[in-house]
Structures are given as C-alpha cells and as structure tokens.
Structure 1
C-alpha cells in the first residue's frame, strides 16, 4: 500500500476528506519524528512502539577494500510491532 492508497483507505474508514486525512498523516509523521529526535518513545497500544535506540561505536570492514575502519556511535529508530499487528501478520 502506498501513501495515496493509505490516505484513501483511512479517509473512507473515518468519513473524512482525503485532504484532511493527508494533513493528519503529515501531522502524525511530524510528531513521530520530533518525539524520536527528543529520545521519547511513541506508543500506540496494540499497534506499535517507535523509539530511539543507541548504536555503540564499533569496528567495521570496508567490503570493497577489506580495510578495517572505525564506525562512530549513532542513533537509530526502532519500531516494535504490537499484539494486534503481530496477530494480523500471523493471519489471526
């Protein structure tokens, strides 16, 4: 499902216009990005949890040359599926 299909499906289910639904999806994305940037977890019970995780510094290897290199510590985003999402994936 791409973005336009998502907007259409949510608009039909919620009884909203596609313009309003698109604005809501944009706002949700903005809130998720801001919260993860601050290090806060966003929890939608039963659906998912999005949180920032820390990656430690490590030694890696350049696949082209085989040369070892230091990879700096960084942050990433982690999405954990909730119970409803897991059940849907398992066909329940």
Structure 2
C-alpha cells in the first residue's frame, strides 16, 4: 500500500495542475475544505465529480454494549459523516 499523500504534497500537486503558486493552491484547498465542512454540517451533501459524495447520516437512539464490562446502555441519536466513492474512481483503481 502506498504512503498517504500529505497536505504539503497535495498543495504542491494542486499548484502544478493549476499552474499557480503554492499559496494560491493552499488557499484553494482550505476553501474547498471549509465549503464541504459547512455544507455537510448543515445536513446537506457535496458531490465531487469523479471522486464521490460526502454526506451526513443521522443514526437513531440505540442500545450499545461496553465490550470490557458487558454493560448495556442507551446511546443518544447522533450524526455520522459518510463518503460514497464514485464508480469512475473505483473503475480507475481496478483497471
């Protein structure tokens, strides 16, 4: 498995693709992160063409068990961020 790309490496690659400086690429990456965070936190979804869809899913209140003690307790309803990977990305990885 390949080593994960760091933010610095991602900014460098983005700057090269955009034919812009690293400062502009870093600002674009930060802005994209802020937009996605805001949209998903508000209950919406963001689709990144060719990559996937990021959305928030609500989970109902449920009973869970502490594996160490075996004690069962009620866990309150919460939200979970989910990512569905686009078919185009899956196909390019498996090609």
Consecutive unaligned residues of structure 1, counting only runs of 5 or more, are: none
Q: How far does residue 19 in structure 1 lie from its aligned partner after superposition?
A: 0.7
Q: How far does residue 45 in structure 1 lie from its aligned partner after superposition?
A: 2.4
Structure 1 ranges of 4+ moved more than 6 A: none
| Aligned length, in residue pairs | 91
Q: How far does residue 85 in structure 1 lie from its aligned partner after superposition?
A: 1.3
Distance in 2 between the 1:83 and 1:14 partners?
A: 25
Bigger shift: 71-80 or 41-50? 41-50
1:59 to 53, 57, 63: 63
Distance in 2 between the 1:66 and 1:23 partners?
A: 48
Consecutive unaligned residues of structure 2, counting only runs of 5 or more, are: none
- 2:45 corresponds to: 41
| TM norm structure 2 | 0.89
| TM norm structure 1 | 0.92
